[in-house]
Structure 1
């Protein structure tokens, strides 16, 4: 283990699939441009048995020098003095309280997307983090992929496609909502069910990143219109149109749980000099970029990006560097960007009728 890079001792909250992916990735011994070290310091689950199984399946095989403390509760992770940052991998509806509990204990936090159920909850969490002076970030891992960074550079620095005109992005899964039990996280509105918060957030992320050209306070607020198709009170399809008043740029961002697009191109950004197509397993995991010049017969430029594992380590490395620098928010995923996304999705649900019990409207 190298010592000239930052090291983060992680506390893992929840032992579901997303947490297993995160842990497997950050424990990979090497990856391209590795810039931080990661230790699984503690694991908390709803039961000690689940916690032990998780550690045996995903931590022990890596033969770590530090054996994690195993807890049958989340609070014990927050209270562990050796934990530098808590990773929250619980379902959407638990994020707000998990974040508040971790912040109260003075812990830095990386919380899975969507950050909370709505913008009101997000504002409450950020207010608590600001008062406590701790770091917190929504884990929108896609923003940290090299492919995403390359697209941003091509569009906004190199101006590869010239004047940006419009974009399109789609994320689809095939989930038979009607056949699921009412308690399923894909069906229960109390759990934040629906395509929008689960996968539509990725399509919207591509819309904001490619059209705005900036993040946080520096980004222009888009005009938003939308429509949804509902089943059992949750959206099975959402279509969102973004328009940036100062430039006229438009984006169509869609999601559905009725059709699986599979591993195909998921985004297209069009400009005055050509267009860019982004490929990957899903809109969450970009791996290849193609630029097609406007000139007839011109060959496309192609960029492919190596991705050992799934790609969670890039956001984890970013957190490590932020903590070392004493930051409370990340410049690529600042608090304002999370609030913007939550406000957009709140508006989409208000117009579409996909209301959650925690909503105040």
Structure 2
């Protein structure tokens, strides 16, 4: 491992599925790594659970295991905290880590609402720490290449319409009321869990800009609710130039591998992958002529690309990342608020919340 690349020592909060994928990816040997990642500490509800997690997902490593999150925040050997808890806990986890001077990479959705996101980012600004929403898909080389083909090279002309779906058969009927997928107080429902990816693809394909520079479209949305959570969400983004994004999520069916279609005045692009969050290829199809296929191999799942970007930014003294800046997190959270305002999902049911989109 080159000594010229930065080293970042991670404290992992929660030991669920997403955290297991993250630590596995950071432990891979990669010839093109932009940073050296150390799993320094793991915080769980018990030391025994934390030890089992480490033994299973990062065998041969020796992180410090804690039976609480607070001990991770206060560990001086930890540079940055990865927050892999359910959505409803993100705000407090982030605030607690920031209070101890830790940098933060927090899983999507960043918080439950835009108001909560502002609270976290205000705290980060005052403390001068790095904070980023972990929307890993944005950091895939495929996404960078796709945006260059669409927006810089205009290989399909002007984009007129985007369809994107993320659906998983979550078998909700088999889950108890306290499951993170069933409990509205935990931010349950398809929108924050998987619908955010459909929204992300729509935004990335329809606008070359992000954050404060991007256009915020009009939103028309509806949700199907069961026991207070959305089991299906559909949102249409309508831009002033007439282009539209039709973006959906569902908890009872499975999206096919071709999950996104981008339609332009001079052709179409279809994006494929084992999940909407993890693209592997896209195909450019002109009106006449042969299709051109772009495939992107990777080791592991691809969480290390966002982790590398974080390490490089922190080494450079930055507090936010240009691919996922704070203004983009806020813009997306405001859109999610507006979709829920129109669709009816509440966290928890009946609770008032701020919508940042008029």
TM-score category of the 2 structures, normalised to the smaller one: over 0.9
* Aligned-pair CA distance for 1:305: 0.3
Instruction: Quote the residue 1:110 is aligned against.
Output: 105
* Aligned-pair CA distance for 1:359: 4.0
- Runs of 5+ consecutive residues of structure 1 not aligned to the other structure: none
Instruction: Quote the residue 2:77 is aligned against.
Output: 82
- Runs of 5+ consecutive residues of structure 2 not aligned to the other structure: none
Equivalent position SS for 1:185: coil
* Aligned-pair CA distance for 1:180: 2.2
Looking at structure 1, the residues matched to 352 and 88 of structure 2 have their Cα atoms a distance apart, in angstroms, of 12
Looking at structure 1, the residues matched to 345 and 222 of structure 2 have their Cα atoms a distance apart, in angstroms, of 11
Instruction: Quote the residue 2:280 is aligned against.
Output: 287
Q: Is the 8 A contact 2:159 2:263 kept in 1?
A: yes
Aligned residue pairs, count: 352
Q: Is the 8 A contact 1:177 1:231 kept in 2?
A: no
User: Match for 1:191 among 186, 189, 197?
Assistant: 186
Deviations 1:32-63 (A, max 9, x none): x321110011111111111111111122x2x3
Q: Is the 8 A contact 2:113 2:353 kept in 1?
A: no
Aligned counterparts, 1:38-117, within 5 A: 38-59=37-58, 61=59, 63-64=60-61, 67-117=62-112
User: Match for 1:318 among 287, 309, 314?
Assistant: 309
Q: Is the 8 A contact 1:277 1:291 kept in 2?
A: yes
* Aligned-pair CA distance for 1:183: 1.1
Deviations 1:166-185 (A, max 9, x none): 11100001123234211111
Instruction: Quote the residue 1:330 is aligned against.
Output: 321
* Aligned-pair CA distance for 1:306: 0.6
Looking at structure 2, the residues matched to 231 and 179 of structure 1 have their Cα atoms a distance apart, in angstroms, of 14
User: Match for 1:256 among 235, 246, 250?
Assistant: 250
Instruction: Quote the residue 2:269 is aligned against.
Output: 276
Instruction: Quote the residue 1:265 is aligned against.
Output: 258
**Stretches of 4+ aligned residues off by more than 3 angstroms:** none
User: Match for 2:224 among 219, 226, 229?
Assistant: 229
Looking at structure 2, the residues matched to 251 and 346 of structure 1 have their Cα atoms a distance apart, in angstroms, of 17
Aligned counterparts, 1:117-136, within 5 A: 117-136=112-131
* Aligned-pair CA distance for 1:313: 0.5
Looking at structure 2, the residues matched to 187 and 42 of structure 1 have their Cα atoms a distance apart, in angstroms, of 30
Q: TM-score, normalised by structure 2?
A: 0.96
Instruction: Quote the residue 1:36 is aligned against.
Output: 35
Looking at structure 1, the residues matched to 280 and 138 of structure 2 have their Cα atoms a distance apart, in angstroms, of 13
* Aligned-pair CA distance for 1:248: 2.1
Q: Is the 8 A contact 1:212 1:244 kept in 2?
A: no
* Aligned-pair CA distance for 1:218: 1.1
Corresponding position: 1:19 with 2:14: no
Looking at structure 2, the residues matched to 167 and 333 of structure 1 have their Cα atoms a distance apart, in angstroms, of 21
Equivalent position SS for 2:275: coil
Q: Is the 8 A contact 1:173 1:257 kept in 2?
A: yes
